[in-house]
Amino acid sequence: MTYLDSNIILKVVDSFKTDYKVQLSQLHAAYIDKSNVSRTPAAEQYQHLTGDWKVYGDSLFDYVTIQLDERLPYKSVQEIHPSKIVVDIFGVTSNTNWIGQLSSATEIKNAWYEQPEDDLMRVFIELRHQQHWGYSIFYDDSDKLTIRVKRQPRALSLKNMVIAVDAGHGGTNIGATGVTTKINEKDYTLLIAKELEKVLRQKKAKVVMTRVNDTTLSMPERIRFLRQQHPDLLISIHLNSSPKDTTRGVSTYYRYIGFRPLSIAILHSMTGAGLNEFGNVGSFNFSLSGLTDFPGCLVEVAFLSNRNGEKKILNPGFRKQVAQRIAGGVEYFLKNL
């Protein structure tokens, strides 16, 4: 469903193998891996009210803050046309009588709420720009829920961007293997990621790499690193595999609808080079696509399970072309905003 901040209070109502079932509100339940949960004494309070709201900005971000009396669970979705962030806060009833809004908030156009259920409050944040640039949801020390909204960068060109490039797999996690030569996905994602880094740097973008050598990096490690770096965009490089050796083509993936345009621009740029299209895939539940903090695109360059795809991946000229095409897709995305 979502990532949660730490120390969120969850009411466990059942247990299944590795998961707890938790009751989020009267009508909503969820499952969470037991390894992510620690038990506390039973809560004394099951009903919660909202306090002060504030909408404001600082030099970097816009914020919506809502005072709660406990770290309650939440989930969020993105909407487009018009662009909105919609956050459901579970187990709380609105006791808010006004929403103070400061002109320092420049990306948030409107903020309001509805109470669709007695114990579910829905927060709407309408954005000024059509493109979603991401947001982070967390609590501060006083249980104030904060939705930190990323603004659209002022200059929409590569030289003004920080781009995170993630080479899939690595170390003990080898990924897919080539159908004829048994090459490892992890080695070729790294080669393509490094080509991409080179092209983006030539175009004066700042680039941060999740890995630059053959190291084992878990998904939580990648996520922590990426969140610290505050990139504007994330591109994750993978190579695909299918049980059917005729399956082929390039594909790009996104999870949230507001981040789709980047993945379409990259796919079109790549198929423009004569690559077969496997497709643009949405609602993709891959760890890094689950980040809401910045737009991300997962690129599955080719199928290693297809002879032709494998042959291409082995060709350094092809890898260079892929890097140029991905960078071209990012440029096209920025130019069309």
Give the separation between CA 300 and CA 207, rounded to whole angstroms: 20
Q: Which stretch binds Zn ion (CB under 5 A): 14-22, 41-49, 165-173, 204-212?
A: 165-173
| Segment interacting with Zn ion, rule: CB under 5 A, options 28-36, 50-58, 61-69, 164-172 | 164-172
Helix 185-202 with 316-335: angle, nearest 10 deg: 50
CB of residue 193 to Zn ion, shortest distance in Å: 12
Least separation in angstroms between CB 251 and Zn ion = 12
Indicate the DSSP class of residue 274: T
Residue nearer to Zn ion on the CB measure, 87 or 288: 288
Nearest distance, CB of residue 320 and Zn ion, angstroms = 21
CB of 194 to Zn ion, least distance (A): 17
- Torsion over CA: 155, 157, 162, 168 (sign): positive
| Closer residue to Zn ion (CB): 91 or 168 | 168
Shortest separation between residue 168's beta carbon and Zn ion, angstroms: 4
What amino acid is encoded at 78 in this protein? Q
Q: Hey, what are 20's tokens? A: 């707890």
User: Smallest distance from the beta carbon of 310 to Zn ion, in angstroms?
Assistant: 14
Residue with smaller CB distance to Zn ion, 194 or 238:
238
- Residues 6 or more apart whose Cβ sits within 8 Å of residue 170: 186, 189, 190, 211, 214, 215, 216, 217
Residue with smaller CB distance to Zn ion, 32 or 302: 302
Calpha distance 209→189 (Å, rounded): 12
Q: Cα separation of 86 and 183, whole Å? A: 44
CB of 173 to Zn ion, least distance (A): 9
Q: Which of 91, 175, 231, 249 forms a contact with Zn ion (CB under 5 A)?
A: 175
Contact string 118-157 vs Zn ion (x = CB under 5 A) = ----------------------------------------
Q: Which is nearer to Zn ion, 175 or 261 (CB)?
A: 175
One of 168, 170, 258, 296 touching Zn ion (CB under 5 A)? 168
**Is residue 309 at the binding interface for Zn ion, with CB under 5 A as the rule?**
no
Positions in 216-255 near Zn ion (CB under 5 A):
238
Distance CA(282)–CA(277), nearest Å, equals 15
Q: Which contiguous run of DSSP H or E holds residue 320?
A: helix 316-335
Shortest distance, position 77 Cβ to Zn ion, whole Å = 26
Please identify, using beta-carbon distances, which residue of 168 and 261 lies nearer to Zn ion: 168
Amino acid residing at 92: V
Question: Total binding residues for Zn ion by CB under 5 A?
Answer: 3
Q: Which of residues 56-115 bind Zn ion (CB under 5 A)?
A: none
Query: Which one, 89 or 179, has the nearer CB to Zn ion?
Result: 179
DSSP state of 240: E
Minimum CB distance to Zn ion smaller for 175 or for 329: 175
Provide the 8-state DSSP code for 158. G
Contacts of 293 (CB under 8 A, 6+ apart): 134, 135, 136, 150, 226, 227, 230
Q: Which is nearer to Zn ion, 168 or 296 (CB)?
A: 168
Tell me the residue number closest to Zn ion, measured at CB: 238
Spell out where 98-180 has E strands. Answer: 100-101, 108-117, 120-127, 135-139, 144-150, 162-167
Residue 88: both structure tokens together: 């459901």
318: which residues sit within 8 A by CB, 6+ positions away? 312
Number of Cβ within 10 Å of residue 70's Cβ equals 15
- Residues of this chain that bind Zn ion (CB under 5 A): 168, 175, 238
